[in-house]
Amino acid sequence: MNDKRNIFAWYLYDFAVSGFTTSVLTVFIGPYLTTITKNASVNGFVNVLGISIYSGSFVPYVISLSVILQVFLLPYFAALANNSGKKTFFFNISVMIGAISTTLMYFLEGDNYLFGGILLLISNLAFGISMVFYNSFLNNIVNEDRRDEVSSKGYAFGYIGGGLLLIINLILVLNSEKINLSTGDAVRISLASAGLWWFIFSIFPILKFKNIIPETKIKINYRDSFNSLLKIIKESFNYPKTLIFIIAYVFYNDGVQAVIVVSSQFGQEALNLSISTLTTVILIVQFVAFFGALIFSKLAEKFNTKNSLLISIVIWILSILYAFLFLKTELDFYILAFCIGIVLGGTQALSRSLYSLLIPKNKQAEYFSLYEISERGTSWIGPLLFGISLQFTSSYQFAIFSLIILFILGFVFLYKINIKQAILEAGNKLPKNFSSIN
């Protein structure tokens, strides 16, 4: 516990995978794949397996489908990993699949939107699986009193990693004509670079995590793993407050992830912003979010984690209202980006550290699989809600406004939880700064 090298390896994976969440999910894939889908559309619609889909809704639908698959697969893989003693093995495989499928996005061009949808589906699914195991490692490397700090710094490292790669990609996009590249070529290179970044900076964590969680030679039994999953679902009802937190998190974090995923598409389609402007805006969010994660870590020390999370959700609600009522110009988009950057890191980091205290001991992987269903870039309710609203209204303003209900529901469920009792019910030690929390 608390070994500096293990903690650094944990930070470094966030640094590695954030290249995918930032350059792919947040910036490039939404606008680029939407453009490709438009190229293949007839009167603004494409046909997928006999279903007529509005071209602007295709990317949100793919994101939603990838997470619906995660709903079924992530808990199963977590149970399988724990039963077989192969937690790091499955982590390594998911990293490789995710990095390779992302790198293959270099070949996405023309009107081949189905190819792009398949790669996005696979890479986002692999990303989600890897994060199940990565998040569960938090309980193996630090004790209860340091989890707010380490979780926040993990996100901070992630924002630095995602931001650095985005700077490189921004320079490439802005100077593409000078080196005889089209904007599309620059975007394809940027997408592929996220896969290479993911792979290269995951090498040290892969090697180090094997020492944190020693592998065993227990034979894998798929039936036992499935039964274990059913047992965990049944067992979770013994921890009702933990379940309520999961419900709250599903709602408000789905809203967060939807904003992340659709922000670039919204900027391009609703405000006619260029890809270079969108990249610059998201880059600002990354570095502001770095400081936001640290600021909210300090707020948690002073006001406790629950109250700090509630404050962050209120800011998200106000941001959605601002986007619906006032977002008209490029300057408005920059202002909104700054506000989101401040609250983004804090919401995610404190949610993860708080949840780690609410799960029963020795069940980290299984319970973090439930958590990961709506973790970064893997939500499905928000993108689906956005896509359906866009499908029927063709209005990006109404589509973004529809997300406000997720934050309101998340706030209500979180507000009702007695966190102190939830921690004790899970059989975990109460951190020092939680002595007076409700």
Q: Please give the pLDDT value at position 174.
A: 87
- Name the burial class of residue 326, with classes exposed (0-12), middle (13-18) and buried (19+) by CB atoms within 10 angstroms of its CB: exposed
Name the one residue in this structure whose structure tokens are 């899970």. 426
At 202, is the secondary structure helix, strand, or coil? coil
pLDDT, tens only, 145-155: 777 688 878 87
Whether the CB-CB separation of 191 and 107 falls below 8 Å is answered with no
pLDDT, tens only, 176-199: 989 999 989 999 999 999 999 999
Most confident of 42-46, 208-212, 349-353: 42-46
Alpha-carbon gap, residue 53 to 40, rounded angstroms? 12
Whether the CB-CB separation of 126 and 83 falls below 8 Å is answered with no
* More confident: 113 or 352: 113
Written as six digits, the tokens of 255 are: 């809203």
The residue-averaged pLDDT of 364-386 equals: 67
Alpha-carbon gap, residue 377 to 373, rounded angstroms? 10
Q: Please give the pLDDT value at position 80.
A: 65
The residue-averaged pLDDT of 96-108 equals: 97
The residue-averaged pLDDT of 331-351 equals: 88
Cβ-Cβ contacts under 8 Å for 419 (sequence gap 6 or more): 241, 304, 305, 306, 354, 358, 434, 437, 438
Q: Please give the pLDDT value at position 312.
A: 94
At 54, is the secondary structure helix, strand, or coil? strand
The residue-averaged pLDDT of 393-406 equals: 91
Q: Please give the pLDDT value at position 436.
A: 52
Most confident of 157-161, 337-341, 412-416: 412-416
The residue-averaged pLDDT of 10-25 equals: 92
DSSP string, 121-159: HHHHHHHHHHHHHHHHTHHHHS-GGGHHHHHHHHHHHHH
The model's confidence at residue 376, banded by pLDDT at 50, 70 and 90, is very low
The model's confidence at residue 143, banded by pLDDT at 50, 70 and 90, is confident
Provide the mean pLDDT of the chain: 84
Q: Please give the pLDDT value at position 239.
A: 85
Percent of the chain clearing pLDDT 90 (strictly above): 33
Alpha-carbon gap, residue 216 to 272, rounded angstroms? 54
Q: Please give the pLDDT value at position 172.
A: 94
Nearest CA to 156 among 346, 378, 354?
A: 346
| Residue type at position 137 | F
Alpha-carbon gap, residue 26 to 31, rounded angstroms? 10
pLDDT, tens only, 229-267: 577 677 778 888 888 998 898 899 889 888 887 888 888
Domains and CATH numbers, the chain: 4-213+235-434 (1.20.1250.20)
Most confident of 79-88, 157-166, 219-228: 157-166
CA dihedral of residues 259, 260, 265, 271 (deg, nearest 10): 60
**With 60 as the cut, is the pLDDT of residue 87 above it?**
yes
pLDDT, tens only, 200-219: 999 999 988 876 665 555 55
DSSP state of 220: P
Identify any residues that bridge with 53 across adjacent strands, giving them in sequence order: 46
Percent of the chain clearing pLDDT 70 (strictly above): 87
pLDDT, tens only, 271-308: 988 888 888 888 888 778 878 878 888 888 888 888 99
pTM for this entry = 0.74
At 45, is the secondary structure helix, strand, or coil? strand
Q: Please give the pLDDT value at position 19.
A: 93
**With 50 as the cut, is the pLDDT of residue 84 above it?**
yes
Q: Please give the pLDDT value at position 25.
A: 87
Q: Please give the pLDDT value at position 274.
A: 86
Written as six digits, the tokens of 131 are: 């994060």
Q: Please give the pLDDT value at position 378.
A: 47
Most confident of 56-70, 96-110, 141-155: 96-110
**With 80 as the cut, is the pLDDT of residue 45 above it?**
yes
Q: Please give the pLDDT value at position 365.
A: 63
